[in-house]
Structure 1
Amino acid sequence: MLPAAMNTKAGGGLFCELYWGDNLSEAWSYGPEQSSVHAAPDETALLPLYGFTLPEEPFLIAERTPQGWRIHLPPAARAERAVKGDGYAALPAADLRQDAGRTSVDLAEGMTLRLSEGQLSLRIQASVVKDQVNRLQWKDFGWLAIVSMLFLSLPVGFLVAGPTPQRMEESKARAMKMAADKEAERRKSMGLNTPLRPLTEEELGAQQDAGTDLTVPAYLRVR
């Protein structure tokens, strides 16, 4: 019997790898919907398996049971197992099942079964079963409706609070007033804020000619 830590898992698929020595040759994966896997030295078989002695073709090599996968061993193959990353070791006799001349073993969770014949080895393990995603509940639909309403209200809110021609004109007027105020402050700091006035006649008479005295020869006539 399998220890408690090695209970089989019924809902998973099956993963198979074919090695030639230490080199991976081929790999196959079968989903949870597959109830059995037959092997034969034929490319049309569900598991094309060459180099193994099979009692019949096709040979039922794996079938699903209520507890998980049951692997039927080819009669000439050497069967070993590795549990959760440990090294391969011979299958205990207590784990082998005998039924109608067939020898089989239940594939446990975390267990890799290696069937070897000559240079070929077939490694079989159960594929990982992911937890089923919980279905949406009524409260989830409520939150979904609220989020949808908020998302749809964004364009309306933008139209209500967004820029209008009147607001654009007001903003433009404020910008022009701010620019005029800054220009007035600049002129005041430069002393240009006092308006100009015309000069009086006295101020004009007091101004001197900016010309320069020039002495010319007598034979030149100045107009």
Structure 2
Amino acid sequence: MKPTASAGLFCELYWGTSLSEAWSFGPTHEQVHAALDGKAPLPLYGFTLPEEPFLLAERTGQGYRVFVPPAATVERDVPGGGFQAVPESLLSRKEGRVSVELPEGTTLRLTQGQLHLCLQHSVAKDRVSGLRPRDLAWLALVAVVFVSAPLSFIIAGPSPERVAESNARVLAEAREKEAERRKRLGVDTPLRPITEVPQASDGGTQLKVPASFSVQ
């Protein structure tokens, strides 16, 4: 199967069963090199490498070709059976190098001592294509419905007469509820009637006092 243009290479380094490090190389990396150096694209401490940098993986038309370090063993995952040794028939030997194809959907495991390097295609999806004409038509329809709904409400909304009638009805109901509340509290009538003309206060008989009158 030919790899997609967005397929890359994903590598995980385990010490026993503990994940130590992980690397991901995009599709622009035609080759992945490893070295016993922290500045290398893939620092591969603990593995015996014949030279540095060591060509670990190379992109091919079927996926990737993985080159096995001399002192490492190579296994592949088998559905329902875990990792098993790669058959000799699938190994390629050329100029003292051992390599094996890494098809898409397969995981290879290189092991030396307690170190395990797992390699597989990166989980990269194809780029989403642009909007199709049918999608644009649906988008335009949704936009028309979204815009026309408020306009329809404004155009076909209630008339001013109905609005005034509704407001009057609400005010009347509010007054009735207020009257019932005051009646229930006993404050609907005053304690004594309020006269229209206030009564004059009883201040006694008025006396006229001469201007020259004084009191000592």
Q: Is the TM value for this pair above 0.5?
A: yes
1:214 equivalent in structure 2: none
Q: Deviations over 1:14-57 (max 9, x none)?
A: 22111112221111122333322111112221111101111111
Give distance in 2, aligned partners of 1:56 and 1:72: 13
Question: Tell me, what secondary structure is at the counterpart of 2:107?
Answer: strand
Q: Deviations over 1:46-82 (max 9, x none)?
A: 1111011111111110111111111011111111221
Residue type at the aligned position of 1:86: G
1:118 equivalent in structure 2: 113
Q: CA deviation at 1:85?
A: 4.7
Residue type at the aligned position of 1:33: T
Bigger Cα Rg? 1
- Does residue 139 (structure 1) correspond to residue 134 (structure 2)? The answer is yes
Give distance in 1, aligned partners of 2:87 and 2:98: 13
Q: CA deviation at 1:162?
A: 4.0
Query: Does the C-alpha gap of structure 1 residues 107 and 155 become closer, same or farther in structure 2, counting only changes over 3 Å?
Result: same
Query: Does the C-alpha gap of structure 1 residues 176 and 90 become closer, same or farther in structure 2, counting only changes over 3 Å?
Result: closer
RMSD: 2.8
Question: What runs of 5+ residues in structure 1 fail to find an aligned partner?
Answer: 1-7, 181-223
- Does residue 153 (structure 1) correspond to residue 174 (structure 2)? The answer is no
Paired residues of 2:13 and 2:118 also in contact (CA < 8 A):
yes
Question: Tell me, what secondary structure is at the counterpart of 1:44?
Answer: coil
Give distance in 2, aligned partners of 1:164 and 1:41: 83
Q: CA deviation at 1:131?
A: 4.9
Give distance in 2, aligned partners of 1:85 and 1:31: 29
Question: Tell me, what secondary structure is at the counterpart of 1:88?
Answer: strand
Residue type at the aligned position of 1:125: Q
After TM superposition, list the pairs within 5 Å mapping 1:72-111 onto structure 2: 72-111=67-106
1:10 equivalent in structure 2: 3
Superposition TM-score, scaled by structure 1 size: 0.68
Residue type at the aligned position of 1:25: S
Question: Tell me, what secondary structure is at the counterpart of 1:114?
Answer: strand
1:36 equivalent in structure 2: 31
Query: Does the C-alpha gap of structure 1 residues 36 and 162 become closer, same or farther in structure 2, counting only changes over 3 Å?
Result: farther
Paired residues of 2:78 and 2:84 also in contact (CA < 8 A):
no
How many residue pairs were aligned? Answer: 175
1:188 equivalent in structure 2: none
1:215 equivalent in structure 2: none
Paired residues of 2:3 and 2:104 also in contact (CA < 8 A):
no
Deviates most, 142-151 or 171-180: 171-180
Paired residues of 1:83 and 1:110 also in contact (CA < 8 A):
no
Query: Does the C-alpha gap of structure 1 residues 47 and 164 become closer, same or farther in structure 2, counting only changes over 3 Å?
Result: farther
Question: Tell me, what secondary structure is at the counterpart of 2:49?
Answer: coil
Give distance in 1, aligned partners of 2:122 and 2:171: 73
Residue type at the aligned position of 2:106: M
Give distance in 1, aligned partners of 2:34 and 2:143: 53
Report the identity percentage.
57
Residue type at the aligned position of 2:139: L
Superposition TM-score, scaled by structure 2 size: 0.70
